[in-house]
Every structure is written in C-alpha cells, then in structure tokens.
Amino acid sequence: MNQLSPAVTTLPGYGTAALPWVSRIPGSLDASYMIKMEPSHASCSGTAGTEGSNQVVVQAGFKWKKGFLALVSYMDPRLSRLGWAVRPPPDPSSPPIGEWTKTLSNGTRANLGISEERLPVWQLVATADSIAKAASGCGGATHPGGDPRGSMLRTLGTTEKSALIPNSHIDSIHSYETKWLDGNDACDGVEGWLPVQSDVTFTSSSAPALVVSTAESALEAQGWVGVQNPDEVNWTRTAGGEKWYLILARTDPVAHPRQWSLYGRADPKGPQANTC
C-alpha cells in the first residue's frame, strides 16, 4: 500500500479539501474522494487450498474539465517521477489509453488506470498484488480470452455510471470478475469463462420516463442498441468479439418506486462456460 497510495498525489486537487481521504466510497456520483482498500482474505469459491489475499487497491474520484488528453499530459510526468511507466496503445498511431504500470520493490507489477465517469467526474484505480500469498487455483491462467487486467469490468462500471440521471444516489455496487470454470464445475461439463457482471442500485426522484430517457441517450451515443419492454429496458452492444448487455428496471415499483437497478454483463473472449 505504501508504494501504491502516492499515485493519488498526481491528481488535480490533491492536498486540498476538494479531494479528501474517506473510509467508504460515497454514494453521490459527484463526490470527490480517495480511498485505500487493504487486501482481504479470499479463496476460489471456498475451495480448500486456494485461500489467500486479494489485491491492494487505491481508488479516487476527482474533477477535471479539460478532457482526457489534457489529463494524461497533466498526470504522466508526475507519475513518471514516482516510477510509473505509461502503457502504450496497441496501435502506435492511436491516442493514449490512460494506463500505467510500475514494478514494485517486491518484484510484482502494479497497474493504474483513469477513466471518465461522467464529465467532469473521473476515476483513478490503482491495483497491486498483496505481499501475502494470493488466492489461487481458480483456473483460467492458461486459457485464452478472459478479462486481462480487469479492463472489461472497469468499462462496464464506467458505462453504467454514465447512464445514470445526474440526481441519482448510488445505493450499492456489486461487481464480479470473470473466472474460468473447469469441466467439473460447469454445467454438462462445458468449461469456459463466466461473464463479467456489475449491478448498480440507485435512487432517483425523477420521473421514471426521464430516468429511462437519460439512460437511452447516454448509451445510444456510445453505440448501444436498446429494446424497451413493459417492465425493463435492455441494451446490447458487440465490440471486438465481446458481447455486452445492460438491463434497467425498478427494483420494486410498489415498495420502492424510486429505486432502480442497472445490471450489466459482458461475455469475454474465449470459450464460454455453460452454467445452465
């Protein structure tokens, strides 16, 4: 954590009351914050012998109004002085991708990325493996596809937040990384990757039609195709061989008429597990 947390000193607003350290992620989409998340005990679905620690995470939400390229230009020299190296885009002629890497003193690799939540709010996420024994044995390390560096999960979460109406209050976020299911665990022995999943529960005082139309405008501008059903709205998107899905619905129109769920799923590249 001591090698990871200095990364937030490169953020605009660091060292001022506008960017405070917090003990839990705020529910408001507009809140600025910094948080350290120490590794916790984890295992592969409770399987004996797979116990260990998950990753160290430093996360921040911050304000920036000058655009992505200007933010990269602002942060890159500051991160470089801390030992971070910018990750080049796949195509040298493409613009920066907003990701950096760093080799820590114990030889492990840390990763850092920035993403736009909804202007002018941005997010920084820096991760590194714990010095303790990592949880292992879940499979997938030698299988093609999956979600390298968790980029699909981050994109899914960012997309969901971009679709929320501005007065939304986030009640909860549940995210699930993909993992490889071996034949013994998969239905009918069809092994492969589980989908990446993210579920955002939020509350809004706006009329239901306005909540839906706000999501429609934001998502369709990003290439999503929507289909409205009586009780929910579904969107799909296919890009780079990956299939993405979003479902917007009220959690309980009678008991909680102002509470909504935006559930997202993405099928990573590679074989797909059959979960029946």
Question: What pLDDT, on the 0 to 100 scale, is given for residue 145?
Answer: 78
Cα end-to-end span (Å), the chain: 40
pTM over the 0.85 mark = no
**What is the block-wise mean pLDDT of the chain (276 residues), using blocks of 10 residues?**
90 94 81 82 45 71 90 95 86 72 88 81 83 47 71 84 87 84 66 87 93 92 86 86 89 91 89 71
Closest C-alpha among 24, 49, 43 to residue 34:
24
Cα–Cα distance measured from residue 126 to residue 119, given in angstroms and rounded to the nearest whole number: 21
Q: What is the mean pLDDT of the chain?
A: 82
Helix, strand or coil, per DSSP, at residue 214: helix
Tokens 């990757």 correspond to: 193
Closest C-alpha among 121, 159, 136 to residue 55:
136
The percent helix, strand, coil of the chain (3-state, each to 5) is 20, 35, 45
Question: What pLDDT, on the 0 to 100 scale, is given for residue 150?
Answer: 77
Question: What pLDDT, on the 0 to 100 scale, is given for residue 52?
Answer: 45
Residues 6+ apart with CB under 8 A from 255: none
Tokens 């990592």 correspond to: 134
Neighbours of 246 (CB within 10 A): 23
Q: What is the pLDDT of residues 46-93, one digit of tens each?
A: 444 444 455 788 989 999 999 888 999 999 999 999 999 998 876 666
- Beta strands 99-103 and 121-128 are unpaired
